[in-house]
Amino acid sequence: MKSRRRSLGVVLGCVVGLLQAARVRAAGPYTDDLSKCLVKQTSEADKTLLVQWMFAMATLHPAVKSMSAISEAQRTEISRKTAEMMQRLLTASCQSEAQQALKYEGNAAIEASFNVLGQVAARELFSNSQVAAGLSDLTKFVDTEKLKAALQTK
């Protein structure tokens, strides 16, 4: 029972880490080693899958649900593939780093390490030239003079 609970904690740590990719927290040396391993051992396809998974999960929120055409079957398939990738990373590619991080820093190390991986995947998403061009459209609607005046310190 204790082993099953710990496994559930690891899985939840992975999921929470990925979903809270914008959050920064202090990491210990074993978490750092696991984070580096996760980033190094993920392919471009893995990072693309992570971005797809984060997007698919975000579309469940009522505020954006109507803006997406992701079917339940697609969401399920993306989740299955993401779970397989996470399992591969923790049980094969980065097994020793994961064991050490869990042993010395607990389940929070898994969460923090997947947080880093999520940040890397998101950074790559936003560095895409088409996404960057879309983001720059925002500046068309910002009154820079008003913003400058409001943020100027006296």
Domain that holds residue 72: 2-128
Residue 88 counted as domain residue? yes
Query: Can you give the pLDDT at residue 100?
Result: 97
Domain count, the chain: 1
Average pLDDT, the chain: 85
Q: Are 30 and 109 in contact (CB under 8 A)?
A: yes
Residue 146 counted as domain residue? no
Residue 124 counted as domain residue? yes
The rounded percent of the chain whose pLDDT value lies above 90 is 62
Residue 61 counted as domain residue? yes
Residue 25 counted as domain residue? yes
Query: Can you give the pLDDT at residue 27?
Result: 73
Residue 135 counted as domain residue? no
Does residue 7 register a pLDDT over 80? no
Residue 36 counted as domain residue? yes
86 against 27, higher pLDDT = 86
pLDDT tens, 36-46? 999 999 999 99
Residue 153 counted as domain residue? no
Q: Report, as an integer, the average pLDDT of 144-154.
A: 86
Where do the H-state alpha helices sit in 42-143? Answer: 44-58, 72-88, 95-105, 107-126, 129-136
pLDDT tens, 101-137? 999 999 999 999 999 999 999 888 888 899 888 888 8
Q: State the pLDDT confidence band at 25, using cuts at 50, 70 and 90.
A: low
